[in-house]
Amino acid sequence: MNILDSLNWRYATKRMTGEKVPQEKVDIILEAARLAPTGSGIQPFSIIQITDKALLEKIQPIAFNQAQITEASHLLVFAAWDAVTPEKIDYVYDQIVHERNLPADALKEYTDRLKGMLTTLPREQQYNWAARQTYIAFGVAIAAAATEKVDTTPMEGFKNAELDQLLGLHEKGLRSTSLLTIGHRDTVNDWLANLKKVRRPKEELVIEL
Ligand SMILES: Cc1cc2nc3c(=O)[nH]c(=O)nc-3n(C[C@H](O)[C@H](O)[C@H](O)COP(=O)(O)O)c2cc1C
């Protein structure tokens, strides 16, 4: 299947079968998210993988009792940094300098500029910037799953603060942005399984100048 066939095949699955998705396939989805581009390559987020049924049952009411939470094989929680600090930027760029065998101060001018732009923003805006980067990886993960013929549901329908508390994200310097359930569609019980995919027409979506 080419990418367009895969994207037409996928849909935001409402009911899943509970069947396990092999970890190798989930690892491909996670690797695709890891390879996603982000602003200045900072990757200001973590992805939490959850398979523990008891924990998923605790998450379900926080996500308005959506069935996919417990019918999924895996749940991924995308969580953005709650702040972008100079230390975090240095940590990322130290790794780049090391892995590319660059002189220690080769990127100092650039990182100083980055720190000036990002770490001086009000904290909520730092988080918002990080959250936007998170969504790039989120989208790439959804597309990657489709190419593996694995179903997903992207979700924002949950109470972020309650989930953060349950998972102890605050202590990790993270705030949840979105959820991705991973599993297989239940074609018998999913009302959406056979409905036409509807999108705005290209002529309307794309503005040619
Ligand atoms: C950021 C985001 C949040 C979403 N939140 C939910 C959700 O909480 N529950 C749900 O069932 N679908 C959710 N969806 C699915 C969308 O409604 C769905 O992607 C959209 O209607 C397009 O349909 P399709 O994905 O089936 O092609 C979400 C999608 C995105 C991208």
What would the pLDDT profile of 10-51 be if each residue is shown by its tens digit? Answer: 999 999 999 999 999 999 999 999 999 999 999 999 999 999
| Gap from CA of 189 to ligand 1 centroid (Å) | 18
Which residues have a Cβ under 8 Å from the Cβ of 14 and sit 6 or more positions away? 67, 68, 153, 190, 191, 192
CA-CA-CA-CA dihedral for 106, 117, 163, 149, to nearest 10: -60
Q: How far apart are CA 29 and CA 42, in angstroms?
A: 19
Residue 178, ligand 1, Cβ within 6 A:
yes
Q: pTM score, two decimals?
A: 0.97
Residue to mutate (ligand 1; options 153, 176, 186; most atoms within 8 A of CB) = 153
Residue to mutate (ligand 1; options 152, 155, 179, 194; most atoms within 8 A of CB) = 155
| Gap from CA of 112 to ligand 1 centroid (Å) | 38
pLDDT exceeds 90 at position 1: no
CA-CA-CA-CA dihedral for 52, 53, 58, 61, to nearest 10: 130
Residue 147, ligand 1, Cβ within 6 A:
no
What does the pLDDT look like over 123-169, one tens digit per residue? 999 999 999 999 999 999 999 999 999 999 999 999 999 999 999 99
| H helix or E strand, kind and range, residue 76 | strand 74-81
Nearest CA residue ID for atom 24, ligand 1:
11
Tally the residues of the chain. Answer: 209
20-24 contacts at long range (C-beta below 8 A, 24 or more positions apart)? 20/73, 21/73, 21/74, 21/150, 21/182, 21/183, 21/184
Do residues 140 and 118 lie in contact, with contact meaning Cβ atoms separated by under 8 Å?
Answer: no
| Gap from CA of 132 to ligand 1 centroid (Å) | 17
In the DSSP assignment, the letter for residue 46 is: E
